[in-house]
Structure 1
């Protein structure tokens, strides 16, 4: 005769935190979504957004991240990976990729460690995924005790200042923020803010067609520099729609939005939407984290935080980000280099796109298996019409060709500034796994204030804080959503960073200048150490 417990479905069995820790220690990818324990190893090869975002959620309650980043179709399919459920509020582990340590599960220890009455694994520097283990020892040798002491003191100052400005990290406070954030999500859906305004996109299409026609007209009459300005503006305007499509925010259908985004990115823009999604999805999960967010890792040109002067390891690139001689020379001048480097940013996007496509870094299974080949074909088409048809065949002299290429690419600089503006000057500290998703997004992201008639220029990117809270909301509804988020912030006591475009630029440049000042102090520290070493050796 079977017992009552034997009749319980495997998906409905209650798994303790100790048991889940043991599963992760055994190498399984476990996340928690809506009290359900999901083993997502089988999903990772099919995940269109890459494996890194999932790795950063292992051992965590990923309900909010999963809900706001995925379509309802995907949300409805996730039950196939359920292996159990939890009771009560989940206390997040630190994921293995971030240094979390997990103990193997021993059956006899179940009773003494039931539930959550044990300390969460602490972060240890030695534990990293894959080849990161091999380069960690070398990192320690790069920093002297004095250098590390200086960097640690700056980190402590930043953490202390951050903790005074944002709500405490206790379970009650963060639990209340999570509950109200999820209620806000329901309210936003109820008010129809996830419904796309297709007439707004029709106007966008008309504007882009007009800009492209102007480019062709001035090209025809030989005004090549003027034509280049219109081409750069055309690319910038289209990127906004590609960004929406990449977040499945237009039709909310993965295949349709992917086609829209890839068509804009590849044959029209010469870039890879797949590459952008691979980095951008990680950015949305670990926003502004120096070791983990690829959108902040710009050495040797920029160190957006003092931590980059400590020779950190990028978990995204799986390699050391050295604060080498080149970085030591450039970072003290980064506030002056900010706009010139951004003006050349589009050339870097070409390189990154072809590396991604050439190495096949995107998904090779599932719904997105064909995306790589679509984008390769699209990029070939781009270089045929732009590189051969316009630059080579339509422009007569080498100097005019050079000017056309440089101007058309440098005109997109405000777009690159817009992407960096919302994060470079915001908090980069890690407050631990107990911080709610909503608070972390608002702490690491600022919004740019502008009149409504200028929304077309910013393309929705001025609402980055709102976008990070709810990435799939169509951008034409972000201004309406902002009012609801403002009420939420006042209710839970989270500061909402809002600056004018000029003020936001000043804050970013000022932040870069502050890191440059810290770099100068570190350089003096290194010089003192070197001189002391010379004295000790009698030189």
Structure 2
């Protein structure tokens, strides 16, 4: 009797995998293996959305970039077989991909016959011209205006895609496979250089800055210099975020629970923000960077739109709701290049709302698996934060409401440069979708830019100025990103991908320019509607 074949050695065909996904299974290709993530979905510490964006795709590079060796080894429990040869990506269901289930040919023939019968032109009766009233003609004109807007938006989208295709390597198999191969070789080179090892001594200087700012905050508060106290606290929060970011990517000890607890202590206990919310949000951002429908880091309606595609009330797959393009959005986006800095001054208040929405949601934070208790620790951290900051500091230590408001606004608004930094590396970059055949490395380089600064200013930017390097290799500790940058630039030159880097001032200019460009596109589309509306009114009166 022939020995039984291990399920992990079963070779799955493309059609079989499509059928599994069509039946609702969450199938991902990892280094030639077929992984069924269904059982792991509710336990995934990084949330379900990041997994859903990998369904039907070869997620090898994304998974390696965002997960430790231990996590990747754990995924072997969910391997159900393997594939033969190179995998051609499907469009994931969450992004609109459609999949056929595994049905018999007889059923398929019946379905096809029914579809042909339904779509037959013999069953269609055109409306009678006798009912072509003035009201109907006006409706036709309005639909014509909408069609003009749609075609204009389509032209803008086509132009953006064409521009990217002219600047970046082609999407054929040979070109993209070469990029993937060299990207993985670079990863090995960076590991051999020790750049994945955290330089703990660098945190000594960070800790000294943290203590200095904390002492200034406490001293100014004690002597009733509330504005200066708020300034010092805001600068402390600004600096602490960089270490929380390191912890969120497991870039400190590389231990999941240890780094998560460091992140919770900094973000929740000291800053009042949820590290769990940030990780769920940030993981998706790293996978679908700058995608208007999918990347929460660029979904800031009604305040900002970095693409004309937001004018169509896109549905956010992250928030599971339409980003309605209403009158408020029209106002803010028409003036977004002027309102950019004032709105970002209030950015921290929005993070409180998002944090509590995450922690109170019955579905977002994992309730099972290794991270089940993180949510409760975060809630304890939130209570602690509002006790020491809201009650002990603002209510008990500051005597008047005017001083409290001054302290609150200054401490929160001084963190605005951090929000500028977070948007700087993406708002001015491409939002075009080049399709399912683009490699992870090329997409990251196409949607992300670096900010140039002298080494002595690195502590101000906290590693966020090296977003290109970070997006390619997010688990490299931030204190090593400058060293890694030269290798990434060599890689870009080798594969023919532009490495985008601007100084801080030029980067801000690029972002403001992009916001102004989109605002201009909105004004043009609105003028189009006004012309058609005027035609309707004049035509009606003329009749």
| Runs (5+) with no aligned partner, structure 1 | 110-140
| Secondary structure of the corresponding residue to residue 426 of structure 1 | coil
Deviates more, 1:243-252 or 1:201-210: 201-210
> Deviation string for 1:237-257 (max 9, x for gaps)?
000000110111111100000
State the match for 2:87 in structure 1. 90
1:26 equivalent among 6, 19, 23: 23
Deviates more, 1:387-396 or 1:410-419: 387-396
Alignment of 1:97-112 (within 5 A): 97-106=94-103
2:509 to 506, 509, 512: 506
Alpha-carbon distance, 1:227 to partner: 1.1
Q: Secondary structure at the match of 1:89?
A: coil
Structure 1, residues 77-103: CA drift from partner, whole Å, max 9, x if none?
Answer: 111111110121111000001111111
CA positional deviation for 1:108: 7.1
Q: Which region of structure 1 is more displaced relative to structure 2, 374-383 or 435-444?
A: 374-383
Tell me the CA shift for residue 391 of structure 1: 1.0
Q: Deviation at 1:536?
A: 4.3
Match runs of 1:212-227 below 5 Å: 212-227=214-229
By how many angstroms is 1:178 displaced? 0.3
Matched, 1:440 2:464: no
Say if 2:298 and 2:427, in contact at 8 Å, map to a contact too. yes
| CA distance in 1 between partners of 2:356 and 2:158 (Å) | 40
Picking from 43, 60, 73, the partner of 2:57 is: 60
For the residues of structure 2 that align with 1:486 and 1:49, how far apart are their CA atoms? 30
Does the aligned pair in 2 maintain the 1:31–1:58 contact within 8 Å? yes
- Are 1:474 and 2:474 an aligned pair? no
- Residues 210 and 240 in structure 2, CA contact (< 8 A), matched pair in contact too: yes
Q: Find 1:516's aligned residue among 508, 515, 519.
A: 519
Residues 245-256 of structure 1: matches in 2 within 5 Å? 245-256=247-258
1:135-534 to structure 2, matched below 5 A, reads 144-360=146-362, 361-534=364-537
Is the CA contact 1:235–1:412 (under 8 Å) kept in the aligned structure 2? Answer: yes
- 2:61 and 2:199 map into 1 onto residues whose CA distance is 25
Structure 2: distance between partners of 1:411 and 1:263: 21
How many residues are paired up? 506
Task: Name 1:119's counterpart in structure 2.
Answer: none
Give me the whole-angstrom Cα distance separating, in 1, the residues matched to 2:322 and 2:173.
35
Give, in angstroms, the shift of residue 179 of structure 1.
0.4
Task: Report the secondary structure of 1:31's partner residue.
Answer: strand
Shift of the 142–325 alpha-carbon distance from structure 1 to 2, 3 Å rule, reads farther
Of structures 1 and 2, the larger Rg is shown by: 2
| C-alpha deviation, 1:538, in angstroms | 3.5
| Alpha carbons 2:145, 2:528 under 8 Å: kept | no
* Contact 2:214/2:232 (<8 A) preserved: yes
Coordinate RMSD, CA, aligned: 1.6
Measured in 1, the distance between the counterparts of 2:239 and 2:144 equals 44
Change (3 A) 1:523 1:254: same
CA contact (8 A) 1:232 1:411 kept: yes
Distance 2:301 2:532 in 1: 24
Give CA deviations for 1:53-92 in whole Å, capped at 9, x if unaligned: 1100100000000001001110111111111101211110
Residue 412 of structure 1 deviates from its aligned partner by 0.1
Supply the distance in 1 between the matched residues of 2:65 and 2:52 (Cα, whole angstroms). 17
Rounded Cα–Cα distance in structure 1 between residues aligned with 2:460 and 2:212: 15
Contact in 1 for aligned 2:451/2:502 (Cα 8 Å): yes
For residues 379 and 160 of structure 1, the distance between their equivalents in structure 2, rounded to whole angstroms, comes to 47
**Per-residue deviation at 1:167?**
0.4
Shift of 1:198: 0.8
CA separation in 1, counterparts of 2:343 and 2:277? 21
DSSP-derived class of the 1:168 partner: coil
Q: Distance in 1 between matches of 2:454 and 2:336?
A: 30
The alpha carbon displacement at 1:358 in A equals: 1.5
Distance (Å, rounded) in 1 between the aligned partners of 2:48 and 2:539: 50
Structure 1 CA distance for aligned equivalents of residues 193 and 169 of structure 2 = 28
Secondary structure of the 1:74 match is helix
Q: How far 1:106 sits from its partner (Å)?
A: 4.6
- What secondary structure is seen at the aligned counterpart in 1 of 2:201? helix
The answer as to whether partners of 1:143 and 1:310 remain within 8 angstroms in 2 is no
The answer to whether the 8 A contact 1:142-1:311 is kept is no
| Separation in 2, partners of 1:243, 1:538 | 62
1:71–1:252: 8 Å Cα contact kept in structure 2?
yes
Instruction: Give yes or no for the alignment of 1:80 onto 2:77.
Output: yes
Q: Which residue of 2 aligns with 1:51?
A: 48
Distance 1:310 1:143 in 2: 14
Q: Normalising by structure 2, report the TM-score.
A: 0.91
Task: Measure how far apart 1:371 and its partner are.
Answer: 1.2
Give the SS at the match of 1:7.
coil
